[in-house]
Structure 1
């Protein structure tokens, strides 16, 4: 047995080397070997060397163990007097646990290779039976036997190392296996415990699963049972060591490195324990395998937990899915060679493409928030196990420190430092505040900083499913194969899930302030002396809340006081809600000829100049508005009701569950689709006319493109009503002319004219009733409620919510969000618009009748006049009744404000 594996400073029994060239089968020892053995035993027992020989003589083993000189004298007297004074000691064994020594390698080689064919080769065995400590018997005696190998080398090969413990006493086997276990527990092979034949220590996948061991079959079964109970500890240790070596690479991120640091601290305690056990093994005569098992049994559970954790941190499916893609798979069904496209380069390219498509890798390595999520999940799952709970809480504390620093730095300064994509918040650097005015869908507020899991404050299952398109969900990684866990930083630890939106918004607010050129103060900034902090405790949650409130109040003060948010909102109400419609009346009068053109033929430059003229008219109340230069004329590509009906027909309701936001996101796609229709009806400029409003950063976060679109919907609704009212009023002025007022002398014509007057009057009354309801009952009432809320608002997100809720409520109460109400109302508006546009036909029919009453009184021509009028009356009466029923139903169920229309 090799003696080079015992730590320095230890004294152990010495095994002499076999004497080469001896042909005698008789057991014998040289004088020097006897002296060395006696000196070693004396040193261990702290007695004189003569006491060793006396003990051997008393036990009767002197002739067998020591041998005699040919003259019959005992050879226990050393030939060198200096050896009697100080017994020689064997060389110290200093084999480190991590790397086998030369002698150990030789021993391992001798146990795996056939012995040389020399007939004089000797094999050394040692027996160390334990003796009770008393006055008569020694503590331990050692017997050495030098056996001469048989001349036939083949027999040695057949019955060599596999049976190397045959005939060895149980006490010696126990001492030998204890020594081997102390090395195996450090991941190093021993003499009796070797790597399993199917285990390759150079294979990374096998090392991550843990080493597999093979024990010498000749070991006593009673000892083998205990050894097999301890070998899982060695396997788990090698698994943890391999995982630590792997996860220490830079690409695994700071959280994994912190976790490795915590695990290494535990492994240090494990190594200290094994070192103490080795010292006890070398010093205590009563040390047994049971003692070793007693001390290591609690560690076995802890190490198995560590190994299980390390295995769970491996990306599920990485090795399996990668192995499923054969090296012979060229991505072309094996036809690459036939096409002349074979070669390793093509195969490597196909693997890279598949990896980018997510076919290989399953989301990349486990890092960042996913590491914390796995530890937290395991801690909750094993909460009933005190050891597991303590272990996982300790590792969670160590591994969460880099994540904690990222969170604190983000919520206190708005600075995002995440080089390995471990944090829950991601930044889209290509999105700047300039895109707020140039790009409709790319909004700074919503897409510059987002959560990696794709969630938002306004998200809902219905909207999330509707938004699950490649264009919008491309940045959200798919879950790990076989689990619902998102990979990497997209996985937010369970203890931070309720706080993720506040963490996101706190950093967002501070970034907005920094974009305005204002230095961000950092109250409660992270200090180096802070030490390790537990994240899943109320103290840390309070810190998040305080940072969120501070960022909210700072940004709110900036917007309300310095950027004059409230005056901007009042100005938008004035322009879009037509509080004082005198400027609109002047504009419509000036731009009548231009607004009668098709929308594509109308000149925006001319319309903008006419709008500026109407707004700056000194007689108009709008001339004193400080933000009148921000008002712009724009043309929409679709009619108001056509576009709303397309959206509502798909979703059923425009504002429930955030569908309006989704509809606004899809507006560009709808516009493109509408342009592709072959025969689309001509859209007049008056139906496509809308206003736009320019607002600078950071007010553009509150008055965003989506909120401006809501204002535009309300404005187009009111503009249509005003236009209809003006058209019906102009119709009334025409009906006051003598041609309509003078009696024609024909009762049928007079009834026909009176029916037109009645229908026009009913239409005008309906339009004025809806207009008065929208402006007085809806817009003005909700605006006063918004002003009250703005006076008490304390956070930016509350301001955002109140503003959007105000606009959504106005849209809902104006009957623009419910499919049934919108459908009936759109048909009514179409009927009235058609009736107004038919006024010229009515005038022509009346003129023809007055020019030739006899001919025009013909029943066929009279029936034609009455048919057109009757159709208008029937449609108006029918849709008016349907509208009243729909208003009554919605007023009683969900829209109480509509009661004013009953």
Structure 2
């Protein structure tokens, strides 16, 4: 059976006793203080007509008053001594204002001994006998973050008062810092504030250790004096003052109310803002509106706390402002490093796994959970890519800031973004890479692919916000995520074959596929857009694709489907350019749509007038509304998104319209090759001139359309596509891939003259004139037969004047819009803005020379 372990008594140290000289000096000092107090304790005090000595009063108060030395603990954050020993307790122990004695006639040595004892209380935030709270101090009204101010007795010797007043700010700093730690340690202030409080608490431990050493020296060393106290606490005053001014700045920013006046004061402006956000999100419905309304209302009612990135930004700014002070650099550097650990931990999880672990909304990336893969598969938009994960400050890669729901306005005083929307200065230039790296990994994870180990060997657990190794880690993690997603898109998802098939479906206006489709659907396309059968057109499209498409294109032909646009191509383009400018059209029209284009025309005067004029127009034909749509699945929908599909549709409708007008004029030329048109009628010279003018006008119109079609196909689309293919072979990053794809489409739109309102207006009028002229082909043939019949009968032709007047209107209209408007605009833009139009100027000038 084992014997219980009994610890042996530790031997006492012989050096704990005082020498005879030290013992005599301490005993003499204590005896002197006691004799001095004895003289004043025997002075009688008058109360209710009875005289009591101070000693009797103290004993009676002790018997009649409950001992409050064990008050219920109200906080485990503050030191227990601060919460248990109060001014009332100090009074019961001989401290407090009631026991304060005048020091005028007390020797300076005795005053120093008494004031030293009080200072040890004050340095812990406790009121002493001769050092009391400031008369203006009120615990109920004063801000605890301002700290408690202390004042020394007016009867204190002037030589001692100077040193005492130098030490007193330490009590103010200590009480303010402890109040800050207690206040910011609650959950709502987030992990960064918790880490900051823990770091400050660690610094206070050194301060409390210093106080315990000072108290030991006061009790044991006869040589301990006020001057030595100041010598020991002097460095601590500066350190605590730095922390004190930091918490004052944090508290001032926290108490500043957010300014929401800029968001609009009327109900109409709020409704318009919500509608714009709905359109920008591309998602309607009551559910989304409820989510946005709740987010806006919550942001307006809830005061935004100083947390997350804002705390780190304030720390960084103070460290930069006081970079010339070595102590400030060390203190703020330590606090910034410790407070940034939770932030770096969130950054590490996001950039390595694509998961956002931000329970208190402190991180720079924000997640919109109501946007998921289901929405992408239904509408194949790029909402997941654009708005599922965004920066809290609303900034984008283009440099603009979008006003989404949940983005608060800047602070009114400092113009700093509040809370997590404030990005730490050290990460400001890395914020887009941080966002994209997490997005890339998140996309891979959503596809069900396990994310492999990244090659980054840097341990970021101990890195600070301003450590150079952190930047190396961010760059390496971004490169790894980028390369992984790029391989997934190009190799596993066959992105490049998809883009080639998309180009062939939408851009090959000279292909047999489009010609075959127009021939098969000729009858259906002559109907109005509302009357045309989309099911029939889809079956004809499938027939044309099955006949003409081979190879890789045949694999993706089922993804192409027929749709009908709600407005005409040129009318819609002119509206977009007039509302949003060229950048709105280059952006695929999303800026116009975000402003209510097509859905809220009453808000725009130009769109309202266009809609008013549209009431008098004829119904739009199916050929003018026909367009193609393309279905892709996630994650290819990130590249072939709704915005890029819209650009493809604009270019397809542009080429389709040209091809249709060309076919109409070619059919007119075939009809005019018949015998009546070729028959000579020398007896009717006016008819001969009229027929020659019809031939010439038709030839000029056909040449114009063919030159535009050839320029768009061979001078714009094909060269730009070859450049895109060369870039795709060398692409290194996903964002570069997206940028190159969008730049290709935007360049095609610009060089096809679809971004200038003047060119669009002249071009649409010219094509309308040509298509209308082709519609009168049968009427011209009838006029030829009538003129020949009149010439054979040797009769006058009464309709010739009318025919000449009708033809003259076509010639005048075409010459005006072609020579005076369109050609001049093309020459101007080719010489000033768009050099790529120079080949078109040469082509069109040849037509002008033949006029």
TM range (shorter): 0.7 to 0.9
Shift, 1:707, TM fit: 0.9
Q: What's 1:7 paired with?
A: none
Question: Does the aligned pair in 1 maintain the 2:627–2:652 contact within 8 Å?
Answer: yes
Q: Mean Cα displacement is larger for which, 413-422 or 577-586? A: 577-586
CA distance in 1, matches of 2:520, 2:674: 24
Q: Determine if contact 1:369/1:492 at 8 Å carries over to the other structure.
A: yes
Question: Relative to structure 2, which stretch is displaced further, 793-802 or 830-839?
Answer: 830-839
CA shift for structure 1 position 371 = 1.1
Relative to total residues, which structure has the larger helix share, 1 or 2? Answer: 2
1:240 and 2:177 correspond: yes
The CA distance in 2 between the partners of 1:555 and 1:643, in whole Å, is 36
Counterpart secondary structure, 1:314: helix
SS at match of 2:390: strand
Shift of 1:722: 0.4
Q: 1:454 aligns with which of 385, 388, 394?
A: 394
Deviation of residue 544 (structure 1)?
0.9
Aligned twin of 1:191: 129
Q: 2:89 aligns with which of 67, 89, 105?
A: 105
Q: How far did 1:555 drift?
A: 1.1
Q: How is 1:795-874 mapped onto 2 (pairs within 5 angstroms)? A: 795-850=733-788, 857-858=797-798, 862-874=800-812
Report the secondary structure of 1:817's partner residue.
coil
What secondary structure sits across from 2:562 in the alignment? Answer: strand
Deviations 1:65-102 (A, max 9, x none): 9x9xxxxxxxxxxxxxxxxxxxxxxxxx9997424548
SS, match of residue 285 in structure 1: coil
Structure 2 partner of 1:479: 410
**What is the correspondence of 1:316-355 to structure 2 with a 5 Å cutoff?**
316=253, 318=255
1:691 counterpart SS class: strand
The alignment status of 1:288 with 2:216, answered yes or no, reads: no
Once the two structures are TM-superposed, the CA of residue 215 in structure 1 deviates from its matched residue by: 2.6
Q: Is the 8 A contact 1:485 1:491 kept in 2?
A: yes
Is contact 2:184–2:197 with CA below 8 Å preserved after alignment? yes
Number of the residue aligned with 1:408: 348
Task: Report the alpha carbon displacement of residue 166 of structure 1 after superposing the two structures with TM.
Answer: 3.6
8 Å contact from structure 1 (residues 424, 451) kept in 2: yes
2:598 pairs, out of 651, 663, 670, with 670
Q: In structure 1, what is the Cα distance between the partners aligned to 2:773 and 2:518?
A: 20
1:596-651 CA-to-partner distances (Å, cap 9, x unmatched) read: 1111222111111111111112x665896211111110111111111111111223
Residues 1:506 and 2:437 aligned together: yes
Aligned to 2:268: none
Determine the C-alpha separation between the residues in 2 that align with 1:896 and 1:769: 17
User: Which of 304, 314, 318 lines up with 1:374 in the alignment?
Assistant: 314
Whether contact under 8 Å (2:354, 2:441) holds in the other structure is yes
Q: Cα gap change, 1:639/1:579 in structure 2, threshold over 3 Å: closer, same or farther? A: closer
* 1:247/1:256 contact within 8 Å kept: yes
Q: Distance in 1 between matches of 2:367 and 2:589?
A: 22
Unmatched segments (≥5 aa) in structure 1:
1-39, 68-92, 115-159, 323-351
Q: Secondary structure at the match of 2:251?
A: coil
CA distance in 2, matches of 1:272, 1:738: 116
Q: Distance in 2 between matches of 1:103 and 1:374?
A: 36
**522 and 41 in structure 1: CA distance in 2 versus 1, 3 angstrom threshold:** closer
TM-superposed CA distance for 1:418, in Å, is 0.6
Shift of 1:199: 2.2
Q: What stretches of structure 1 move > 6 A for 4+ residues in a row? A: 40-44, 93-96, 108-114, 319-322, 352-355, 853-856
Moved more, 517-526 or 224-233: 517-526
- Counterpart selection for 1:268 from 190, 200, 205: 205
2:352 corresponds to 1:418:
no
The answer to whether the aligner puts 1:638 opposite 2:567 as a matched pair is yes
- Superposition TM-score, scaled by structure 2 size: 0.80
Q: Does 1:210 align with 2:147?
A: yes
Cα offsets for 1:825-850 (capped at 9, x unmatched): 22222222222233344344445545
Q: Which moved more, 1:892-901 or 1:600-609?
A: 892-901
* CA distance in 2: counterparts of 1:694 and 1:456, whole angstroms: 27
Aligned counterparts, 1:875-886, within 5 A: 875-881=813-819, 882-886=821-825
Per-residue Cα deviation, 1:102-151 (whole angstroms, up to 9, x for no partner): 8962527987787xxxxxxxxxxxxxxxxxxxxxxxxxxxxxxxxxxxxx
Aligned position for 2:546: 616
Q: Report SS of the residue matched to 1:653.
A: helix
Which structure has the higher relative contact order (CA within 8 Å, separation 6+)?
Answer: 2
Post-superposition offset of 1:387: 1.7
Query: Which residue of structure 2 aligns with residue 896 of structure 1?
Result: 835
Deviates more, 1:426-435 or 1:439-448: 439-448
Instruction: Select 2:647's aligned residue among 701, 710, 727.
Output: 710
Alignment partners' CA distance in 2, 1:746 and 1:620:
52
**1:177, distance to aligned residue in structure 2 (A):** 1.5
The equivalences for 1:600-749 within 5 A come to 600-617=530-547, 621=550, 625-654=554-583, 659-660=587-588, 662-663=590-591, 665-666=593-594, 669-671=597-599, 673=601, 677=611, 679-680=614-615, 681=617, 682-744=619-681, 745-749=683-687
Matches within 5 A, 1:30-179: 45-47=22-24, 97-99=81-83, 101=85, 105=89, 107=91, 161=100, 164-179=102-117
Taking the aligned partners of 2:379 and 2:814, their CA distance within structure 1 comes to 42
Residue 416 of structure 2 aligns to a residue in which SS?
A: coil
Of 728, 747, 755, the match for 2:693: 755
Q: Residue 468 of structure 2: which of 509, 526, 538 is its match?
A: 538
Give the SS at the match of 1:652: helix
Aligned to 1:144: none
Counterparts of 2:86 and 2:179, CA distance in 1: 24
Q: Report the Cα distance in structure 2 between the residues aligned to 1:422 and 1:654, rounded to whole angstroms.
A: 34
- 1:548 is aligned to 478
CA displacement at 1:180 relative to structure 2 = 1.1
CA distance in 1, matches of 2:552, 2:668: 31
**1:714-752 deviation per Cα after TM superposition (whole angstroms, max 9, x unaligned):** 111110110010011011122222332223432222212
Over 3 Å counting, the alpha-carbon distance change for 1:217 and 1:526 in structure 2 is farther
Aligned residue-pair number: 740
For the 8 Å contact 1:42–1:52, the answer to whether it is kept is: no
1:490 to 412, 418, 421: 421
| 2:846 counterpart residue number | none
Residues 97 and 188 of structure 1 are in contact (CA less than 8 Å); yes or no, is this contact kept in structure 2?
A: no
1:542 and 1:693 map into 2 onto residues whose CA distance is 41
CA distance in 2, matches of 1:382, 1:113: 40
Q: Which structure 2 segments of 5+ residues have no match? A: 1-16, 43-68, 71-78, 260-292, 602-606, 842-851
Distance of 1:104 and 1:288 partners within structure 2: 28
Give TM-score scaled by structure 1 length: 0.76
Q: Is 1:654–1:818's contact at 8 Å kept on the other side of the alignment? A: no
Higher Cα Rg, which structure: 1
Question: Aligned to 1:523, what secondary structure does the other structure show?
Answer: coil
Question: CA 1:488/1:716 → structure 2, altered by over 3 Å: closer, same or farther?
Answer: same
Q: CA RMSD in A?
A: 3.5
- 1:444 matched to 2:384? The reply is yes
Would the alpha carbon gap of residues 561 and 47 (structure 1) be closer, same or farther in structure 2, given more than 3 Å must change?
Answer: same
In structure 2, relative to structure 1, the CA distance for the partners of 1:48 and 1:764 (3 Å cut) is closer
CA distance in 1, matches of 2:495, 2:80: 72
- State the 1:526 CA deviation: 9.1
Determine the structure 2 residue equivalent to 1:143: none
Deviation at residue 664 of structure 1 after TM alignment: 6.5
